[in-house]
Amino acid sequence: MPTTVPGSTMPRIVPDFFQDEGDTALRHRVEWLEREVGVRDAFFPRHLRVSEAVFRRWLDASEPLPPGPQGELRHLWKTVLHLLSFLNFDQERVRTLLEHHVPESSSGVAAGLAPPWSGTSLIDYLEERGPHALREVDRWVTALRFGDPYAGASAIPSSPSIGSGGEVPDR
């Protein structure tokens, strides 16, 4: 639900927590990811490699999150912002991208800019591979968006594309 800018009737486009770096903003980001793009609550502790109890206490604001996982949570948010930007801020398309299972190539030959999560969904790939997977996803998005020659096929593991043209299928 959009809020208004104080002293104006103009709606605020982006919630404050999208840009704030504080602990409260991080908690709001987790809630937003669960609510708006369907990320499971169990994803976060698995992705960050912390116990569910540690993550829950942090989410309840009763205990700080260790610095390493806190930094990785910020990196996850930046990756989500890249995905949102790449998909024109369409939350439903981001949800589809996260949940879409990319089949493995039957021929063993993959497209140069195919996603690195071949054989699984992006959300499962991030959960299984942890924070290290974010760098691969960031390189893939950058290569597709900007044609970055340094993020090309040699930097991205081979896997088949999402659709015939690398696009995210519509629901």
Domain that residue 65 falls in: 16-151
Sort 26 into a burial class: Cβ within 10 Å, 0-12 / 13-18 / 19+.
buried
Task: Report yes or no on 55 lying in a domain.
Answer: yes
pLDDT interval class at 21 (50, 70, 90): confident
- Give the DSSP letter of residue 106: S
Task: Report yes or no on 114 lying in a domain.
Answer: yes
- CA–CA dist 84, 94 (Å, integer): 6
> What pLDDT does 159 receive?
37
* Mean pLDDT in residue range 85-108: 86
Percent above pLDDT 70 for the chain:
71
> What pLDDT does 171 receive?
39
pLDDT tens digits for range 47-56: 999 999 999 9
pLDDT tens digits for range 28-79: 999 999 999 999 999 999 999 999 999 999 999 999 999 999 999 999 999 9
Q: How many domains does the chain have?
A: 1
- Tell me which of 18 and 166 has the higher pLDDT: 18
Its pTM stands at 0.74
- Contact in structure between 130 and 170 (CB atoms under 8 Å): no
Task: Report yes or no on 156 lying in a domain.
Answer: no
Task: Report yes or no on 158 lying in a domain.
Answer: no
- CA–CA dist 18, 38 (Å, integer): 17
User: Which range, of 18-22, 52-56, 161-165, averages the lowest pLDDT?
Assistant: 161-165
* Residue 156 burial (CB count, 10 A): 21
Task: Report yes or no on 128 lying in a domain.
Answer: yes
Task: Report yes or no on 146 lying in a domain.
Answer: yes
Task: Report yes or no on 60 lying in a domain.
Answer: yes
Task: Report yes or no on 167 lying in a domain.
Answer: no
- CA–CA dist 32, 99 (Å, integer): 17
